[in-house]
A and B are shown apart, each in its own frame.
Chain A
Amino acid sequence: MSEWRYWLNEQRGTLIGLAIFVLMFAVYIANHPAGLTANVAQTAANKGVLLAFVAMAQAMVVITAGIDLSVGMILVLTNCLASWIVVGTPMQTTAGVLGVLLAGTICGAINGLLVIKGRLQPIVATIATGAVYFGLALLLRPFPGGAVNEDLADAVTGRIFGIIPSSLVVMLVVVLLVWLPFRRSEIGRAAYAAGSAEAAAFMSGVPIRRAKLVAYTLAGLLAGVGGLFLTFFTYTGEAAYASGSGYTLWSIAAVVLGGVSLYGGRGSAVGAIFGAFAARTTGDMLFVFDVDPLWQPLLQGIVLLIAISIGAIGLLRVRNRLEWFR
């Protein structure tokens, strides 16, 4: 096999995620009364980017064969925090943004420490920390409210040169600053190794503990970026339980749609971004087709169910039945 076929095989999940998104977005735009205008693109980008950050966070952890059920709650917590401190003069706002990102990172690091040093199972540990983070969010914002630096908010949710959605640019910057360095570093490779064959990686002296800790911590950071963006979109902070658990749920769905294997070791955060966009487009599509809002949750669920069942096609290729069991 030549070089590029290996590359293609490695990126298959990401490319499938991209294909699903492009297909759905094309159908959406074709049926949108206004077509692909700068306005439509901006709205779609803003909604998609929000979920994309949370999905990237989830992908970081899922690659190490873990799971973070607290990402939604970190998003809610950082949203509430941002509605307090991202205000005032440019200096204060900058400090506030850094503070919010730091808070997200700390949340992620706590998850990582509990899973790695505490040797707890990620599912239960992050459920419990999720409850704590949500409690803290409620302490910060018992009632929805607060404010945000509106100049900054409009800048990152608006358009650059009147055409490029700036939220997409911000996301690209985050990918370049967080994901790519991680993926190309020794730690990133160790994270993949920990996900695909932990025992073998350990025996080979790969720093899997450090890699997992970094993955959980960066997940917290990315969820914090998501929380910051939520504040920029809504101008307020709100500690809503349903919103937090909804983001956690859809982050997992987006990761799966984006071709990241829940068993770990396969996929990339870029795939998760496409998965998130595809997931968001489902909701928009129902709007374009003028579906009764009451039908929306059901149709979204059915689309999700079908999308994940497609992954089962691989079963038809199984020659040895023992391959059913991983």
Chain B
Amino acid sequence: MTEATENRLSLRARLPGPIRRADPAVLTSFGCILLLLFLGSLYSSNFLSPEYLLQQLKVASFLGVIAAGMMLVILLGHIDLSVPWVMTMGAMMACAAAGFGSTVIAIPFGILCGMLFGLLNGFGVAYLRIPSMIVTLATNVVAQGLMVLYTGGFSPQDSAPQAMRWLATGYIIPGVPNAILVWASVSVAMVFLLTRTTFGRSVYGIGNSERAAYLSGINTRRIVMVAFAVSGALSAFGGVLLAGYASKAAQAMGDAYLLPSIAAVVLGGTSILGGRGSYLGTVAGVILITLLQSILSVMQMPEAGRQIVYGIVIIAMLLLYGRNPASR
């Protein structure tokens, strides 16, 4: 261990408990959120109004639900690239189920379709031992094919039923959109799953070393498959929420969610190699990315500039705290 890290350790040891235990990556990302809000408020005072912040949280909740599933998969050291079309499929199937008469089963049906694709991903990764990047890429093409076939190249019955709209934009608590409540309950469930269940501990274990986890008697293949199924279900659920928000399901609606969901998880301090990361960081990453996108669009920057700034900011933040250790 070098002298510099020893110094840093002794410095950290002198900090008060809660700060000392906190992940530096999570702290940095929350710091970046505050910085973005500060920069935004210089541009326009509306940035600090409760309405704007709630609106941002509502938009963030779609990404948040998807990123929760993505985080589970990334913690295993895998990745789920099938998000775009599984998400679109969830939305379209939910709308279709509603169109065929039953609004009650619409949302569960959409999520179930996503879960089936997640199971397929998980089976390929866990039992056939194909790299997750390949399996999910292929299932993404299959899901796209199914949806192109279903829609017949045109827009079918695509308007979202009342229940979906209510879930995304309605209010149980006055002033707080339901989508935020949905994200909050998914988050609570995720924190419980990751920190209080054997499943969650196994996920971290597999992410660190699948061999060791296997030798410790964990049924690693089943856990990996279940994690992918959860990720698929949450992607589809995100799609259902988004369709409710936009009041219709559209082709390619999921394209804009793959990269942000990975970026949110990684910016939140979860190692892309798996095994390390806290859910709080993912929440911070989601808010960070949503705020960044919002500020860029409020400043009426053209799409080209938005993409460039977005990419550069992600690289800059990763260079700030997402680097691999230097020693080998």
Contact = CB atoms under 8 A, between A and B. Distances in A.
Contact of A242 (B79, B255, B306, B314): B255
A253 interface: yes
Contacts of A300: 141, 145
Given A136-B308, A308-B135, A325-B210, A301 B323 contact: no
Chain A interface, DSSP helix/strand/loop, else mixed: helix
A252 interface: yes
A263 B263 CA distance: 23
Contacts of A120: 315, 318-319, 322-324
B144 A297 contact: yes
A325 B210 CA distance: 7
B130 A301 contact: no
A202 B326 CA distance: 13
A135 B311 contact: yes
B137 A138 contact: no
Interface stretch (A8-16, A122-130, A159-167): A122-130
B124 interface: yes
Chain A CB count within 10 A is highest, among B130, B138, B309, B319, for B138
B134 A136 contact: no
B214 interface: yes
Interface string B111-146: 000000000000010001111011101111111111
B144 A301 contact: yes
A132 B211 contact: no
Contacts of B302: 138, 142
Given A301-B144, A305-B138, A127 B262 contact: yes
Given A120-B318, A202-B328, A263 B144 contact: no
A131 B259 contact: yes
B142 A302 contact: yes
Given A301-B138, A322-B211, A121 B130 contact: no
Indicate the member of B133, B148, B311 with the most A CB atoms within 10 Å. B311
Given A134-B307, A298-B146, A300-B145, A256 B134 contact: yes
Interface stretch (A17-25, A45-53, A86-94, A309-317): A309-317
Contacts of A325: 210-211, 214, 220
B304 A136 contact: yes
B166 interface: no
Given A114-B315, A263-B131, A325-B211, A121 B324 contact: yes
**For A125, A133, A199, which residue has the most chain B Cβ atoms within 10 angstroms?**
A125
B225 to A, nearest CB: 14
Contact of A305 (B142, B266, B305): B142
Nearest to A139: B304
Nearest to B211: A325
A138 B211 contact: no
Interface in A219-266: 241-242, 245, 249, 252-253, 256, 262-263
Contacts of B133: 67, 252, 262
Contacts of B220: 325
A252 B137 contact: yes
A294 interface: yes
Contacts of A324: 129, 214
Nearest to A297: B145
B308 A132 contact: yes
Q: Closest 7 CB pairs between A and B? A: A298-B145, A135-B307, A131-B311, A301-B141, A135-B308, A138-B304, A132-B311
Interface of A: 67, 114, 118-121, 123-125, 127-139, 142, 199, 202, 241-242, 245, 249, 252-253, 256, 262-263, 294-302, 304-305, 308-309, 311-312, 315, 321-322, 324-325
20 contacts: A114-B319, A119-B323, A120-B318, A124-B262, A124-B322, A128-B312, A130-B311, A132-B315, A133-B311, A135-B306, A252-B133, A256-B134, A298-B142, A301-B138, A304-B141, A308-B124, A309-B124, A312-B130, A322-B215, A324-B129
